[in-house]
Chain A
């Protein structure tokens, strides 16, 4: 079953990507290199790669730093922190599509609560809603992503912190190390494996972002938030050019595999 539904579609995709679709006659002819040369010449693909990379890097950095900080903050056995940790993971189970809608509601130019807060602070004017400007729209989507997935980082980091041995910290405290020194010299190096793993998992997911873009901006305004997967979706739905859509999707897959394997090699991640 895994072969039928897992491997076969990829091969089928590859096969499909070798056809050229004539938009007028809807006839597909076998031209192996047509779509692939189109991918590398397509400006929208290049734009989409840069949007995807920007999105992934910014969101990943924020999530990692926030996640680690919050994990350190909540890593306590005192009363109440258990409850706070439980509340912290709630965003994880909200369907991403629903998350998109939530933020859509809060960003709304005329009655959105976040928009109103920003109006109050003078950071935003009602004439330019958050999701209408190119840069701010990308940030809007990133914030939704950060909201949903920082708890994931927190969870992993908490598990990592909990697994750390106690002795080195006691030794460091006796030797008069400050908390800062203990963190940078002990916690970070010992956590490096877990951090690398978390970055890998999140990075792959971020690279395949689709739900938020689809729900919140639908690649807009213009193509300012068009990621690779969103572009593939657009080709599929709007142009119905299935061969080209699967070419772009495969291109995404190849990029993910290359980047992920480089990362695994460089940081020696082990599962």
Chain B
């Protein structure tokens, strides 16, 4: 098909406009985070670019300077943060611990499980696969109440460990199916060749298969990280004092009005790591989101 120049220009134009519409909310959000309060809350007109950019919002939420001292001059010390309810530092730390922890646990468990499922036929392996898949149907809300009780009884409620286990639980099905689809791409002949040469099952897995699925492994890990990083419901129910960023951010909406500057600053900081990671594995993203069902 040969597009005429006019058609091509039109296509570019339409594409750019549509993508622009989809990027706009993020851009607006980022812009809001560097606006001074007066520009955010201007009732008469929408301030787009004509404002003094300020990092005030980031200083309060990410660095934990207390609100007032940060406003008076730029050089005051860290606020004692007892009176700064907008201090997002602890939630950032929580989010990092939980996301990294659950990613590690999920990836390791899924790696072993998927190797077994991909290479061996054992009693119930198909049933096991279907069952893993069916976990996806489960609305998290359906298990949240019992989970809260179980976690409470086990002393896991409101702990990082508890949240790591919860996130691992929801991520494992996706990770197993995804990794299995990557491993299925490697011909089984390679295993057999290695084993004829005297490698044990484990050596074969560790020294032959593992290096070959590195890319898939990275993609899986990043997806697990992003899912855990953005997870809201489980974190909301299972914790009180430990808050991950998505939960923390909703507490900034108060009955007296919302501190949009702080919200957007913390929100932007929460989005950035995901952006970077996701761009790194963009190639494998389709497979990840469909749990290995579609091979790109």
Chain A residues with a Cβ under 8 A of chain B: 1-2, 5-6, 8-10, 12-13, 16, 70, 73-74, 76, 78, 80-81, 84, 86-99, 101-106, 110-111, 113, 116, 147, 150-152, 155-156, 158-160, 162-163, 173, 179, 194, 197-198, 201, 204, 207-208, 210-211, 214-215, 229, 232-233, 236, 242, 245-246, 249-250, 252-253, 256-257, 260, 271
Task: Please measure, in the bound complex, the distance between the C-alpha atom of A96 and the C-alpha atom of B149, giving whole angstroms.
Answer: 26
- Whether B22 contacts A10 by the Cβ 8 Å rule is no
Q: How far is the CB of B281 from chain A (nearest CB, A)?
A: 11
Q: How far is the CB of A196 from chain B (nearest CB, A)?
A: 11
Q: Which residues of A contact B43 (CB under 8 A)?
A: 110-111
Task: Please measure, in the bound complex, the distance between the C-alpha atom of A98 and the C-alpha atom of B269, giving whole angstroms.
Answer: 11
Chain B residues with a Cβ under 8 A of chain A: 1, 8, 11-12, 14-16, 18-19, 22-23, 25-26, 28-29, 32, 40-43, 45-46, 109, 132-133, 135-147, 149-150, 165-166, 168-169, 172, 226, 229-233, 236-237, 245-247, 249-250, 253, 258, 260, 263-264, 267, 270-271, 274-275, 277-279, 282, 285-286, 289-291, 293-296
Q: Which residues of B contact A253 (CB under 8 A)?
A: 137-139, 142
A-B complex: 6 closest residue pairs judged by Cβ atoms:
A95-B230, A12-B146, A9-B143, A208-B139, A93-B274, A97-B246
Is chain B's binding surface mostly helix, strand, loop or mixed? helix
Q: How far is the CB of A62 from chain B (nearest CB, A)?
A: 13
Q: How far is the CB of A151 from chain B (nearest CB, A)?
A: 7
Q: Which residues of B contact A152 (CB under 8 A)?
A: 289
- Whether A101 contacts B263 by the Cβ 8 Å rule is yes
- Whether B232 contacts A197 by the Cβ 8 Å rule is no
Q: Which residues of B contact A90 (CB under 8 A)?
A: 22-23, 26, 275
- Whether B233 contacts A211 by the Cβ 8 Å rule is yes
Task: Please measure, in the bound complex, the distance between the C-alpha atom of A51 and the C-alpha atom of B143, giving whole angstroms.
Answer: 22
Q: Which residues of A contact B14 (CB under 8 A)?
A: 73
- Whether B142 contacts A105 by the Cβ 8 Å rule is no
- Whether A208 contacts B290 by the Cβ 8 Å rule is no
Q: Which of B26, B133, B145, B246 contacts A95 (CB 8 A)?
A: B246
- Whether A98 contacts B19 by the Cβ 8 Å rule is no
Q: Which residues of A contact B42 (CB under 8 A)?
A: 111
Q: Which of A12, A90, A204 has the most CB of B within 10 A?
A: A90
A229 nearest in chain B by CB position: B141
Q: Which residues of B contact A246 (CB under 8 A)?
A: 142, 145-146
